[in-house]
Every structure is written in C-alpha cells, then in structure tokens.
Amino acid sequence: MSLQLGDTAPDFTADSTAGAIEFHAWKSGSWAVLFSHPADFTPVCTTELGRVAQLKQEWAARDAKPIALSVDSVEDHNKWVPDIDEVNKTTVDYPIVADPDKKVANLFGMIHPNAGDTSSVRSVFIIDPADKIRLTLTYPKSVGRNFDEILRCLDALRLTDRATVATPVDWREGDRVIVPPTVSTEDAKAKFGDVEEVKPYLRFIAQPAG
C-alpha cells in the first residue's frame, strides 16, 4: 500500500555523502524535504540538486533539511557533486543518500516501472517535525521540479499548523488567507479582526502574524 498523507515516514539507515544516515535521528524534530532523482550524471538532476543547494538559507529559515536520494552509490555521488557545484556555482552540503539495493526507494514508493525503468522517479516528500508525511509530489523523469513551489508549500504548512486558517490558490507568504469552514464568521472576527465574506463559505482575512 502506498504512503498517504498523515502516515509516519518510514525510518531507514543508509549510506550517504554525509556518512551513515539514520533518517528520523538525522532530521530530529525538524521539517525534512526528501527528494529522489533517477540517476547521477544526468542533466535535469544536475540542475535540481544545484538549485536545492542554492536555497540553503531558505531551508534554514524554515527549519527544514533537504536530503536527496538515488539508486546510485556514494562513490558515484561523490564523483558527481563537483559537477553540480561547478554548473550551478554553489556547494552541495546536504546529504545525497545512496540506495543501490532500492530499499529506501521501495519503502517510499519511488519506483514506478511503467514510467520507463526501475530507477527512482522525481518524488518529493515533505515530512514534519513529528515525522508525519504532510505533502507528496511526483514528477516524471523528464520534468524538472519547481523548488520555489516546494518552499511555498512549506510556508503554507507551517502557517496552517500555527493558525486556524487555510491558504487560497497561488498563495504566497504575506497574502490574505481563508477562514476554514469549521470556524464561524463571528469567531473569526473575534480572533482575527476584519473578515471579508465573499460567500458564506468563502471568507478572507489578513495573514495572522507570528
């Protein structure tokens, strides 16, 4: 059965470019963004892993730890990282997990044989500080990911965890947010102040501070 939102992310121990990783202990109460790529020394992956490295300060600001995975070896990862650094003018300093036996990829359902072969597709798992899976994305091997969108999702998850709100389409940090149906308009006004009622079920407020 595939992993679902709210499930506890599988724990695993594996070798990586940062040494042996015990996943739950490594993330240790932080958010984690686990993303797989099909293979080392491939063009799309080279741009993706470089972009994640360029966003180092953005991950840190959100108490989030990125971690990559492919079915290649640590030796191959270590040979490839200088190329990523050079092409993207950055430094990859987050772990890249080696998974040659596909143990981790199978735990997370990253192998989609009907998509071409038995390498891992471009999966993304956002995992919260309690080790729960909060968001999943799956891209085909030919399509590079938008990591700005993944950061946006992290912002939305963190906001909706701390405040009783939902985020509308295309929401960005600082935009107005939605009062969920479980909260009455009266309660929303008491808690948040001004409420714009577009429909009885669609009510906007300014993004709560904090």
Residues with a catalytic annotation lie at: 45
Nearest to 83 by CA among 124, 53, 122, 110: 53
> Residue 139 in contact with residue 121, Cβ under 8 Å?
yes
Q: Read off the amino acid at residue 134.
A: R
Bridge-partner residues for 166, per DSSP?
Answer: 178
Question: What distances in angstroms separate CA 171 from CA 38, 49, 191, one per listed residue?
Answer: 30, 25, 21
- Rounded distance, CA 164 to CA 192, Å? 10
What's phi and psi for 185, nearest 5 deg? -60, -40
Q: Contact at 8 Å (CB) between 21 and 107?
A: no
Pairing of the two strands 202-205 and 64-70 = unpaired
Q: Are strands 202-205 and 13-14 parallel, antiparallel or unpaired?
A: unpaired
